[in-house]
Amino acid sequence: MFQPLSRQAEMIHSASLVVLAITAGIFIVVSLLLVYVVWKFRRKGPEDDLKEPPQIYGSTHIELAWTVVPIIIVLVLILVTSRTIGEIQNRKMPPNAVEIRLIGHQWWWEVRYEKEGIVTANELHVPVSQRTGEGMRPTQIFLESADVIHSFWVPQLAGKTDLVPNKKNQTWIEPFAKGTFFGNCAEYCGTQHANMLLRVVVEDPEDYEKWVQTMKQPPAAPQTGLAAQGHKAFFENSCINCHTVDGTIAGGVYGPDLSKLMTRQTIGAGVAPLTPETLRAWVRDPQTLKTGCFMPDMKLLDSEVDAITAYLLTLK
């Protein structure tokens, strides 16, 4: 969080620097005082035991002083806090803002660009924003949950906002730099809370548009070879009950949408990079990669595993 690369993270960063400076100052002053007092008034030898030191019961002036000074410091902190809260929470989104619906599931993220009609998982693509002027294009994220509470947190882009079932939350990000940023689910949500990872890919506006166009095309059904067999096997097994593939009868909503599976960088919400090998291992038995996740071991034959993997590899 000390390398903020978005407007919100920068706002938080500057507020936290003020807080850090104040607390560090207090720490230095008080701990020096403590060390001084402990050293200065230590027992110096047996002769100290003969006579008790002067008995002081208190001093109204001194106590007043160390009541008033903290109050003033707290007032400063309160001002900084309220200002930053207001700036972040009450920020108006411009009409060109990208809008994303992010829905938390046990243990993956459903990503929906409702305006563009794109559905994917565990990966946000957003355009880079300029600080001012025409190129300023923040992204607004609407947060919902399908089951328990999750929390959205990409430290370099934004602080946390929870995804609460039966409650509509929102946050926004406005990245100033390109790159891939990592986030975790930050509210304990069950067995695989640790492997509920999110990445945010920040791209040039042109690349982002290109990505949007690719994502809009439904995948072509393979006609020949192993992939075609896999296509058949995919629809004959129960895969379609939980997964969606655009343009087919597969319309399950329980698991991640697979239409554009191969555009993603990871599998299992970030448990492993998405490669033909990990994909095959996942189709073979997801429980070996991500213990406790809700996709069961389908007990497929080796030939079916190969074929379905080949089919899934065409989904891009």
Partner 1 sequence: MTPQTADDNFEIPPPEAIGHERGSLTRIVQELVFTVDHKKLGLMYIASGLLFFVVAGLMASLIRIQLAVPRNNFLEPDVFNRLFTMHGTAMVFFVGMPMLFGFANYLIPLMVGARDMAFPRLNAFGFWVFFFSGLLLFFSYLGAPGLYAAGSAPDVGWFAYSPLTAKAFSRGHSTDYWTLSILLGGIGSIATSINIIVTALCLRCKGMILGRMPLFVWIYLVVAFLIIIAIPPLSACQIMLILDRYFGAHFFDTQAGGSAVLWQHFFWIFGHPEVYILMLPGFAIASEVIPVFSRKPIFGYPVMVAASVLIAFISLGVWAHHMFAVGMTSIGNTFFAISTLLVAVPTGIKIFNWIGTMYGGKLRFELPMLFCLAFLFQFLIAGLTGVMLGVAPFDWQLTDSYFVVAHFHYVLIGGLLFTIFSGIYYWYPKALGKMPNFKLGLLHFLLFMAGFHITFFPQHISGFLGMPRRIYTYDAGRGWDLWNLISSLGVILQAAGILFFVINLIYSYVKGGKAGDDPWDAWTLEWAASSPPPDYNFETLPEVRSRRPLWDLKHPDDPDWKYE
Smallest distance from partner 1 to CB 33, Å? 6
Site mask for partner 1 (CB under 8 A), range 81-120, x = bound:
xx-xxx-xxx---------------x--------------
Stretch that binds partner 1, among 78-86, 94-102, 217-225, 233-241 (CB under 8 A): 78-86
Kindly list the distances between the CA atom of residue 233 and the CA atoms of 255, 281, 303, 310, in Å, as whole numbers in the listed order.
18, 17, 10, 11
List binders of partner 1 among 201-260 (CB under 8 A): none
Residues 9-48 that bind partner 1 (CB under 8 A): 9, 11-12, 15-16, 19-20, 22-23, 26-27, 30-31, 33-34, 37-38, 41-44, 48
Query: How far is the CA of 40 from the CAs of 29, 51, 58, 135, 292, in angstroms?
Result: 16, 17, 19, 62, 60
Least distance from partner 1 to the Cβ atom of residue 170, Å: 8
Site map (CB under 8 A) of partner 1, residues 52-71, x = contact:
xxxxxxxx--xx--xx--xx
Q: What's the sign of the alpha-carbon dihedral 187, 189, 193, 199? A: negative
* Subset of 147-176 contacting partner 1 (CB under 8 A): 147-149, 151, 153, 155-156, 158-162, 164-167, 169-170
Site string for partner 1, 268-297 (x = CB under 8 A): --x--------------------xx-----
Cis peptide before 107 (omega within 30 of 0): yes
User: Which of 33/220 has CB closer to partner 1?
Assistant: 33
Element (DSSP H or E) covering residue 141: strand 139-145
Q: d(Cα 257, Cα 245) in Å, to the nearest integer?
A: 6
Beta strands in 205-286 (DSSP E): 266-267, 272-273
Nearer to partner 1, 49 or 206 (CB): 49
Scanning 8-16, 120-128, 208-216, 275-283 for contacts with partner 1 by CB under 8 A, the matching segment is: 8-16
| Pairing status of strand 123-127 against strand 197-203 | parallel
Own/partner contacts of 19-26, CB < 8 Å, gap of 24 or more, are 19/77, 19/80, 22/73, 22/76, 22/77, 26/73
